[in-house]
A and B are shown apart, each in its own frame.
Chain A
Amino acid sequence: MTASRAAKSVLALSQQEELVDLPEDCPLNVSEDEEDSDGERKHQKLLETISSLDGKNRHKVAERSEASLKVSEFNVSAEGSGEKLVLADLLEPVKTSSSLSLATVKKQLNRVKSKKTVELPLHKEEIERIHREVAFNKTSQVLSKWDPIVLKNRQAKQLVFPLEKEQSAFAPIEHVLSGWTARTPLEQEVFNLLHKNKQPVTDPLLTPMEKASLKAMSLEEAKMRRAELQRARALQSYYEARARREKKIKSKRYHKIVKKEKAKRALKAFEQLRKVNPAAALEELKKIEKARMMERMSLKHQNSGKWAKSKAIMAKYDLEARQAMQEQLAKNKELTQKLQVASESEEEERGAEETEELLVPDVVNEVQMNPDGPNPWMLRSCTRDIKEAEAHEDPEELPDPVAHEVSESEGDERPVAEEEILLKEVEERRSLRRRSELSQDAEPVGSQETKDSSSQEVLSELRALSQKFKKNHQSRKPKASSVSTGHQVQREEPALEEEEPLLLQRSKRVQTVEELEELEKEECSQNQEFLRPGLKGQQLERNPNNLPNAPKEKKKKEQMIDLQNLLSTKSPSVKSLAVPTTLEEMDDEEERDQKQMIKEAFAGDDVIRDFLKEKRESMEASKPKDVDLTLPGWGEWGGMGLKPSTKKRRRFLIKAPEGPPRKDKNLPNVIINEKRNIHAAAHQVQVLPYPFTHHSQFERTIQTPIGSTWNTQRAFQKLTTPKVVTKPGHIIKPIKPEDVGYRSSSRSDLSVMQRNPKRLSASHKKQLKKNSVD
């Protein structure tokens, strides 16, 4: 037994060694099962293995010594212990047969050899676990598409349930009408009308005529018609686009030109009409007259609108505004001017040329019209233009009248007394002249020469008048300190007049010599600028854009002076007061800082005293105060230095009751603040509520009122919208993918399940089989 045991131990050892080299090899298990028949053989083998332990011929193949009928299942593999079967060995006999097939077989075998063995199938539970995990991941993915919707719904300010929108089905009007009959008289009347005209009430919405035309049209016709329509549409769109483009143009000049063109065209048309059809022309005229009447009735162009008022305010400062106002007024005049139509008795015999003269508005009459054509239309529309045209035509000839004319037009707005008188004179003369003309010119005068001569006369008169004007202004000059002569002055009359008092005031204020000097200089320069009469004035007239520059400059200068004045007068006193005090303060602060630092360095000493002082102060503050109701001088003499008598004071002094003892009365080192009101505390929030992160946030939400007492109706409604709104009597269904814009899965759950037969239950499978067999 001992020997066998020893052998066993050796065996075990050998086994270990063998295992190192040949892991699959386990031949020595054989020794463990003890069978009598194999006893000897085993022993033999044992000896062999022991002998092979020395290492030389370890891998000696154990050979079967004898054939036996009964081959143990344990023995079979044991015999080939140390060896692996190599494919090449098996192929050796094949070699001899055929070399070609051998090669292919070898290849195939190699391929087979390269393939790994199939792994063992996993445990069933393991497989299920994997299945579950995969399925879970899949479903989580599917579910995560709901994340944004859920988030949105949670944060929504208002949710209205049921979520799905009820589709309002649009029923065509015919369907709605079909069940409806006319009942009221009005309805019946309307229907009668419709029926009379054979208007379709129900579907299709085509009249019989339309139907017929539709039917009648052949294909080609229809095509042609379509093409025509298309062209028309294209043209229309083109013109529309053009009109839009033109409308957008901001240039005033452009618009002026366009207007002129229009007027010209209208004129031409009118003339033609006059020639061809005088009755129609008269009609036109009447129309114009009516328009004039309308204009007179309306408040348009009367300087009473919002725009005009604003412009009137601005007119003081802005030349353009002034001009705009003037333009408006002129327009008003133009539009409201009565046209003296040649229907009066005297003019009937005369030619159109003369009537034209009379048609010219009174105000503009100072310059003779250029009688292009004898028509009132022209006169009406172009009165203003003509003025300018005149000025352009002969500026050299008529420098003064032009200027005068302008001044006169200015005068309309703000009439200066003298100017008014002059104007009256002009008017008188003009009327006189006209009368004389009327009386003199009995024969029809169509020539321009006579006209020119008459205009010359007028011009001379005007010149004389303008001279007077000049004189007037020169005489005024010495009165106003800074006023200069010239045509410009006339233009700026209103502005200057307003500025005069200002200037005067300033002159009073100004005290220093330097300033006076400055002022003088400035005046000089102004005079130099403005003393240019005549030519310069004309230039300015022609391009009114230049005009604003002069007054602006002047104003600027005045302003500068003002500023300087102020600065120079005030600054020194301020400085003299301020500077030294600040310096002192600085010094003080520095010292104090130093002291402070020292104090801080030795601060420990005073703490207790400070505290006691503080406590005393707080006690004093919390003590109820006496109320003194004495009225000095009541019932006795009063006045400076007299005090109410002590008796009286005692009588009217209400002593405050002594309050409850302080809680920190006996606690020398503590100050207990007793200001807290417990009654109020019941209504105060102690801790900052959850969603808020800072008390100021919370306070803000509390302090914004939401009631309609403090908010407008709309704000109130907005502030009080409930978070969830449900309609009464409506069933709220679970949310659906369609409700939120997702596509619901096209396949139903059932169909998916049926496509997944391996997962069907065993019984169901059986049933399926049965069904198939049947």
Chain B
Amino acid sequence: MKVKMLSRNPDTYVRETKLDLQKVPRNYDPTLHPFEVPREYVRALNATKLERVFAKPFLASLDGHRDGVNCLAKHPKSLATVLSGACDGEVKIWNLSQRKCIRTIQAHEGFVRGICTRFCGTSFFTTVYTGIDHHWKEPLFATCGQQVDIWDEQKTNPICSMTWGFDSISSVKFNPIETFLLGSCASDRNIVLYDMRQATPLKKVILDMRTNTICWNPMEAFIFTAANEDYNLYTFDMRALDTPVMVHMDHVSAVLDVDYSPTGKEFVSASFDKSIRIFPVARSQSREVYHTKRMQHVICVKWTSDNKYIMCGSDEMNIRLWKANASEKLGVLTSREKAAKDYNQKLKEKFQHYPHIKRISRHRHLPKSIYSQIQEQRIMKEARRRKEVNRLKHSKPGSVSIVSKKKKHIVAVVK
């Protein structure tokens, strides 16, 4: 008689070291595991709640300036180095890892309006003009005032100056990918694009209100975002300026600065309403809002080049350091932690449309002023919309044209 023995391979149930997890053989037959959706739903709910629990984005405040911080600049080679210029003409160089000021330079008598670093990181430029930006590859930089001037580092006169109209230009930015392109915004409500090689302006778009600054997307050569006085941000495709790709609206006061994340998927905006917001490029609503009690009007904001942190300089002389992802755990993660993080992230994404989860994940505490202003503006917007609808309803068909929300804020595009 043949006796059949049950035998198991120890490899299937013995762990290699005692630090390993116990091996649990598992049958993945779906009929054996009912309630998968409810279980995942609960997990997603818990993940969302935990995300809110751990959302502590504020990291540090760098103080030392004796006047409002007017401009910030990242170091192109070192993640820990940041430069800031204040309204009293002082420039400070900070070390972020030590959270200390390394050096202080009295650069100007008046405002330091603009500051930029050279692509190699050896030197930086400050200006009393309204704006300055350095070329991404060559020893050139651009300033703006009454016109856009391109300077050679070695020469005392600009090698090229471009102008269109006679208004003072508030900001000029080089395109980081196609480096010969420049964008500028002037106080007569327009945004002008320039081609440095052909030494000519390309196109001008006039908006409802003044644009404070623009920022190019570092991953998509033709996309830029403009921070406008009308509380909105406009993302444009450079080739089709008549309709913005997206209108981002959540701020309740003028937007003063904008900076893209180095991945080009999101950007951060600083506003006069004492808060900074993070927007996904493809969405009109912000994903995150940061504020503290003591932070005043935020004048400048920068996203660090490792995509982890955000810095903002504000009126009350401080530079603040935030996490770009509020609930992210800092430091090195073990593989299990990483797996859990990824899984939770996917769960949150999967169940994001469920009302309960949506409510929790969208919940933010806001200062009273911002909160009330949001309410107020909602009412105003609703009233405007109602009026428009009524007008459309009660007028002769065809006499009132419907303008899309995106196009509403564009006054004209000048060739």
B33 at the interface (CB under 8 A from A): yes
- With A686-B355, A726-B308, A760-B160 as given contacts, are A749 and B135 in contact (CB-CB < 8 Å)? yes
> Of residues 1 to 55 in B, which have CB atoms within 8 Å of A's CB atoms?
28, 30, 33, 36-37, 39-41, 43
0 or 1 for each of A713-730: is its CB under 8 Å from B? (1 = yes): 000110111101010111
B405 at the interface (CB under 8 A from A): no
Contact assessment for A756 and B197 in the assembled complex, using a CB-CB cutoff below 8 Å: yes
Nearest CB of chain A from residue B81's CB, rounded to whole Å:
11
- With A132-B200, A153-B219 as given contacts, are A734 and B415 in contact (CB-CB < 8 Å)? no
B390 at the interface (CB under 8 A from A): no
In the complex, A136 Cα to B346 Cα: how many Å? 42
A129 at the interface (CB under 8 A from B): yes
In the complex, A748 Cα to B196 Cα: how many Å? 11
With a CB–CB cut-off of 8 A, which chain A residues contact B221? Answer: 143, 146, 150, 735
Q: Which listed segment binds B: A238-246, A456-464, A701-709?
A: A701-709
Contact of A711 among B28, B219, B339 (CB under 8 A): B28
Nearest CB of chain A from residue B339's CB, rounded to whole Å:
7
Contact assessment for B345 and A761 in the assembled complex, using a CB-CB cutoff below 8 Å: no
Contact assessment for A732 and B415 in the assembled complex, using a CB-CB cutoff below 8 Å: no
In the complex, A414 Cα to B305 Cα: how many Å? 82
With CB as the reference atom, state the residue of chain A lying closest to B262: A732
Contact of B77 among A719, A731, A752 (CB under 8 A): A731
0 or 1 for each of B195-234: is its CB under 8 Å from A? (1 = yes): 1111111110000000000000011111100000000000
- With A142-B178, A144-B239, A153-B219 as given contacts, are A764 and B159 in contact (CB-CB < 8 Å)? yes
Q: In the complex, how many residues of chain A place their beta carbon closer than 8 angstroms to a beta carbon of chain B?
A: 67
- With A736-B177, A764-B157 as given contacts, are A750 and B138 in contact (CB-CB < 8 Å)? yes
0 or 1 for each of A733-756: is its CB under 8 Å from B? (1 = yes): 111110000000000111011101
B176 at the interface (CB under 8 A from A): yes
0 or 1 for each of B373-399: is its CB under 8 Å from A? (1 = yes): 000000000000000000000000000
Contact of B307 among A698, A732, A734 (CB under 8 A): A732
> Of residues 105 to 144 in A, which have CB atoms within 8 Å of B's CB atoms?
128-129, 131-133, 135-136, 138-140, 142-144
B290 at the interface (CB under 8 A from A): no
A685 at the interface (CB under 8 A from B): yes
A161 at the interface (CB under 8 A from B): yes
With a CB–CB cut-off of 8 A, which chain A residues contact B198? Answer: 131, 135, 138, 756, 759
- With A759-B200, A764-B157 as given contacts, are A749 and B179 in contact (CB-CB < 8 Å)? yes
B342 at the interface (CB under 8 A from A): yes
> Of residues 682 to 713 in A, which have CB atoms within 8 Å of B's CB atoms?
682-686, 689, 698, 701-703, 705-712
In the complex, A722 Cα to B355 Cα: how many Å? 24
Contact of A161 among B149, B239, B263 (CB under 8 A): B263
Contact assessment for A707 and B40 in the assembled complex, using a CB-CB cutoff below 8 Å: yes
With CB as the reference atom, state the residue of chain B lying closest to A153: B219
- With A683-B356, A748-B137, A753-B196 as given contacts, are A146 and B77 in contact (CB-CB < 8 Å)? no
With CB as the reference atom, state the residue of chain B lying closest to A737: B177
With a CB–CB cut-off of 8 A, which chain A residues contact B111? Answer: none
Contact assessment for B355 and A685 in the assembled complex, using a CB-CB cutoff below 8 Å: yes
In the complex, A705 Cα to B219 Cα: how many Å? 33
In the complex, A712 Cα to B264 Cα: how many Å? 33
B371 at the interface (CB under 8 A from A): no
Contact assessment for B180 and A752 in the assembled complex, using a CB-CB cutoff below 8 Å: yes
Contact assessment for A131 and B350 in the assembled complex, using a CB-CB cutoff below 8 Å: no
A772 at the interface (CB under 8 A from B): no
A767 at the interface (CB under 8 A from B): yes
With a CB–CB cut-off of 8 A, which chain B residues contact A721? Answer: 342
Nearest CB of chain B from residue A339's CB, rounded to whole Å:
35
With a CB–CB cut-off of 8 A, which chain A residues contact B30? Answer: 710
With a CB–CB cut-off of 8 A, which chain A residues contact B196? Answer: 749, 753
Contact assessment for B238 and A129 in the assembled complex, using a CB-CB cutoff below 8 Å: no
B306 at the interface (CB under 8 A from A): yes
With a CB–CB cut-off of 8 A, which chain B residues contact A683? Answer: 41, 354-356
With a CB–CB cut-off of 8 A, which chain B residues contact A735? Answer: 177, 218-219, 221, 264
Interface size class of B (residues with CB under 8 A): 35 or more
With CB as the reference atom, state the residue of chain B lying closest to A756: B199
In the complex, A333 Cα to B200 Cα: how many Å? 96
A314 at the interface (CB under 8 A from B): no
A763 at the interface (CB under 8 A from B): yes
B364 at the interface (CB under 8 A from A): no
With CB as the reference atom, state the residue of chain B lying closest to A686: B355
Contact assessment for B263 and A726 in the assembled complex, using a CB-CB cutoff below 8 Å: yes
- Which among A726, A732, A756, A760 has the greatest number of chain B C-beta atoms within 10 A? A732
> Of residues 122 to 152 in B, which have CB atoms within 8 Å of A's CB atoms?
135-140, 149-150, 152
Contact assessment for A749 and B307 in the assembled complex, using a CB-CB cutoff below 8 Å: no
In the complex, A144 Cα to B178 Cα: how many Å? 11
With CB as the reference atom, state the residue of chain A lying closest to B304: A731
With a CB–CB cut-off of 8 A, which chain A residues contact B201? Answer: 132
A227 at the interface (CB under 8 A from B): no
With a CB–CB cut-off of 8 A, which chain A residues contact B77? Answer: 731
In the complex, A702 Cα to B138 Cα: how many Å? 52
In the complex, A682 Cα to B221 Cα: how many Å? 44
B368 at the interface (CB under 8 A from A): no
With a CB–CB cut-off of 8 A, which chain B residues contact A146? Answer: 177, 220-222
With a CB–CB cut-off of 8 A, which chain B residues contact A731? Answer: 76-77, 79, 262, 305-306
0 or 1 for each of A35-74: is its CB under 8 Å from B? (1 = yes): 0000000000000000000000000000000000000000
Contact assessment for A719 and B346 in the assembled complex, using a CB-CB cutoff below 8 Å: yes
Contact of B350 among A128, A139, A706, A737 (CB under 8 A): A706
Nearest CB of chain A from residue B400's CB, rounded to whole Å:
29
Contact assessment for A724 and B265 in the assembled complex, using a CB-CB cutoff below 8 Å: yes
Contact assessment for B152 and A750 in the assembled complex, using a CB-CB cutoff below 8 Å: yes
- Which among A709, A720, A726 has the greatest number of chain B C-beta atoms within 10 A? A720
B294 at the interface (CB under 8 A from A): no
With a CB–CB cut-off of 8 A, which chain A residues contact B57? Answer: none
With a CB–CB cut-off of 8 A, which chain A residues contact B159? Answer: 753-754, 760-761, 764
In the complex, A682 Cα to B354 Cα: how many Å? 8
In the complex, A731 Cα to B119 Cα: how many Å? 13
Contact assessment for B202 and A132 in the assembled complex, using a CB-CB cutoff below 8 Å: yes
With a CB–CB cut-off of 8 A, which chain A residues contact B238? Answer: 139-140, 143
Nearest CB of chain A from residue B234's CB, rounded to whole Å:
18
> Of residues 145 to 201 in B, which have CB atoms within 8 Å of A's CB atoms?
149-150, 152, 157-161, 176-181, 193, 195-201
Nearest CB of chain B from residue A747's CB, rounded to whole Å:
9
- With A709-B39, A720-B346, A722-B342 as given contacts, are A734 and B157 in contact (CB-CB < 8 Å)? no
With CB as the reference atom, state the residue of chain B lying closest to A703: B37
In the complex, A618 Cα to B159 Cα: how many Å? 86
Contact assessment for A701 and B355 in the assembled complex, using a CB-CB cutoff below 8 Å: no
In the complex, A234 Cα to B95 Cα: how many Å? 68
Contact assessment for B415 and A753 in the assembled complex, using a CB-CB cutoff below 8 Å: no
0 or 1 for each of A193-234: is its CB under 8 Å from B? (1 = yes): 000000000000000000000000000000000000000000
Nearest CB of chain B from residue A677's CB, rounded to whole Å:
14
B365 at the interface (CB under 8 A from A): no
| Further contacts, 20 of them, CB under 8 A, given A150-B219, A754-B159 | A128-B200, A132-B201, A135-B202, A136-B415, A139-B238, A140-B238, A146-B221, A685-B355, A703-B37, A709-B33, A719-B346, A731-B262, A733-B305, A735-B264, A737-B177, A752-B180, A752-B197, A753-B199, A759-B198, A761-B157
What are 8 pairs between A and B in contact, CB < 8 Å?
A: A139-B178, A706-B347, A710-B36, A728-B332, A734-B219, A759-B160, A760-B160, A761-B159
Query: Which 7 A-B residue pairings sit nearest by Cβ, starting from the closest?
Result: A759-B199, A732-B262, A734-B176, A734-B218, A689-B353, A720-B342, A705-B36
Interface residues of B (CB under 8 A from A): 28, 30, 33, 36-37, 39-41, 43, 76-77, 79, 135-140, 149-150, 152, 157-161, 176-181, 193, 195-203, 218-223, 238-239, 262-265, 305-308, 332, 339, 342-343, 345-347, 350-351, 353-356, 415
Interface residues of A (CB under 8 A from B): 128-129, 131-133, 135-136, 138-140, 142-144, 146, 150, 153, 159, 161, 682-686, 689, 698, 701-703, 705-712, 716-717, 719-722, 724, 726, 728-737, 748-750, 752-754, 756, 759-761, 763-764, 767
